[in-house]
């Protein structure tokens, strides 16, 4: 199976009509955040429910999408999909930034340039994304804050460096289920140029949520297959 569609659809949003551009790490971003950042809380705190979605849909291999109206009239799109793997394996794929270019179409490079911890024990990783879509190259800098105890991650631009996107915030959440399954939630908000028609904005947001959850499911399945193969090898050839 080939690599998934890009998880970073913000690149697609700003690509139309653009030329080659490049982020500038020596300059700060023009602002310190326009969009409200996510907390690392259960999706229900954001108004997400599974009403109208069956377990069969969530395990069909195609993510379910939820539209959550926002106060400013914007509709946040959240992708939800069940994956047959524990949360730590799922987040192992999400946090494997150096290999994003192998897993996600249009990501040419993803380099972690800073790591650290928060006072509450969350892990922090800042990464530079290099995205290439037709006629456009984009660089942007993202700060990820991962809470391994609650299986949640929030992310936003690293505003100490100048990115080629106006603003972006997002969120991953893994809910542990019985039988070795995990329910993965993903959402991202980004500032869309005013010239993009309203009907196109809705399509773009749906595609972003769908493609982002899908690549994680594909890569997690590959990782689980590797682990099962290694376990079988150890049983047949114990040291």
Please, what are the domains in the chain? 43-236 (3.30.530.20)
Cα(first)–Cα(last) distance of the chain, in Å?
34
86 in helix, strand or coil? Answer: coil
Q: If you average pLDDT over residues 36-61, what whole number do you get?
A: 92
* Helix, strand, coil content of the chain in percent (nearest 5): 30, 30, 40
* 3-state DSSP assignment of residue 138: strand
Closest to 65 (Cα-Cα) out of 235, 168, 203: 203
pLDDT digits (tens, 9 = 90+) for 109-151: 999 999 999 999 999 999 999 988 777 788 989 999 999 999 9
Percent of the chain with pLDDT over 70: 76
Which of 46-60, 86-100, 194-208 has the lowest average pLDDT?
194-208
Check residues 71 and 64 and name the one with the higher pLDDT. 64
- What confidence category does residue 105 fall into, taking pLDDT thresholds of 50, 70 and 90? confident
Triad 180, 176, 186: Cα angle to 5°:
115
Distance CA 67, CA 37 (A): 18
Count of H-run helices and E-run strands, the chain: 5, 8
Q: 8 or 197: whose pLDDT is higher?
A: 197
């Amino acid at each position: 199976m080939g690599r998934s569609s890009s998880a970073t659809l913000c690149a697609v949003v700003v690509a139309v009509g653009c030329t080659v551009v490049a982020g500038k790490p020596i300059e700060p971003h023009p602002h310190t955040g326009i969009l409200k950042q996510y907390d690392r809380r259960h999706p229900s705190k954001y108004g997400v429910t599974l009403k109208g979605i069956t377990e069969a849909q969530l395990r069909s291999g195609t993510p379910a999408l939820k539209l959550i109206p926002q106060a400013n009239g914007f509709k946040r799109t959240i992708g939800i999909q069940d994956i047959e793997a524990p949360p730590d394996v799922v987040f192992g794929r999400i946090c494997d930034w150096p290999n994003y270019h192998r897993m996600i179409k249009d990501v040419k490079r993803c380099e972690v340039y800073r790591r650290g911890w928060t006072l509450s024990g969350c892990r922090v990783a800042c990464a530079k994304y290099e995205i290439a879509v037709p006629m456009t190259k984009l660089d942007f800098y993202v700060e990820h804050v991962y809470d391994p105890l609650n299986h949640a991650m929030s992310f936003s631009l690293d505003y100490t460096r100048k990115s080629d996107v106006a603003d972006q915030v997002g969120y991953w959440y893994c809910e542990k289920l019985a039988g070795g399954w995990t329910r993965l939630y993903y959402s991202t908000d980004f500032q869309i140029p005013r010239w993009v028609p309203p009907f196109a904005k809705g399509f773009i947001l749906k595609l972003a949520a769908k493609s982002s959850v899908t690549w994680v499911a594909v890569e997690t399945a590959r990782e689980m297959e590797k682990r099962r193969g290694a376990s079988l090898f150890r049983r047949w050839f114990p040291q």
